[in-house]
Chains A and B, each alone.
Chain A
């Protein structure tokens, strides 16, 4: 059974994880720009795919944590 303490810890952990994914995406954007200017076209598609995958992961984590939070609120305080 979930408790508010567990929910708070989970929320913080997922927040840090999403922030880390965003930093990796920033690095991917920088690498893609560098490759574009160097005419290294082969690099561009993998970076775009990786960035899309990270966005999907971030969105999935956000959805999970929000649904977890909602479930906790509707379930009432436990612990």
Chain B
């Protein structure tokens, strides 16, 4: 004798069919996620994201270039005033650009645009390092963004004159 049986002997008890009481699978309840399950899911996701962040840090540190590396870039007179020279520092996968302005001052920066990593080129007429992809431009004096989408300055390559050579000795991010 079922306690919830209706008094007139109908097959239905309230709004739920009686056969549902005996059927082992609860389809409607399977579609629900309890708050406790959601909290556990979120905490698990938090752990996964923390793991991804640690993995990214590990990859970055494992592939970090040596802190101090001295490399000859060019001779002092190889780049005329208003000219530029592309070189690679600290590895062959890191293109850089050396710029000499009209007064003879020499500066060097990473050639990789900080927006979407296109190569910047020197435009002496505009007095800027210009990224042709999205018309971003940077100052050839300190690498700060002047116009366009980039918001971060170009990393500076430290250049020292030793004898008759221009030497790259480090990177200032």
Contacts and interface: CB of A to CB of B under 8 A. Distances in A.
B5 to A, nearest CB: 28
A41 B90 CA distance: 14
- Interface of chain A, main secondary structure: helix
B60 interface: yes
A39 B94 CA distance: 10
Contacts of A18: 39, 42-43, 46
Given A32-B56, A35-B60, A47-B57, A65 B39 contact: yes
Contacts of B60: 32, 35-36, 41, 44
Interface size class on chain A is 35 or more
Q: Which of A36, A47, A52, A59 is the most central at the interface, judged by chain B CB atoms within 10 Å of its CB?
A: A52
Interface string A36-79: 11111110110110011011001100100110010000000000
Q: Which of B36, B40, B56, B117 is the most central at the interface, judged by chain A CB atoms within 10 Å of its CB?
A: B56
Contact of A32 (B35, B40, B57): B57
B35 A52 contact: no
Interface string B46-87: 110110111011011100100000000000000000000000
A19 B43 CA distance: 9
Given A15-B38, A66-B36, A36 B56 contact: yes
Interface of B: 35-36, 38-40, 42-43, 45-47, 49-50, 52-54, 56-57, 59-61, 64, 94, 110, 112, 114, 117, 152, 155, 173
Interface of A: 11-12, 14-15, 18-19, 21-22, 25-26, 28-29, 32-33, 35-42, 44-45, 47-48, 51-52, 54-55, 58-59, 62, 65-66, 69
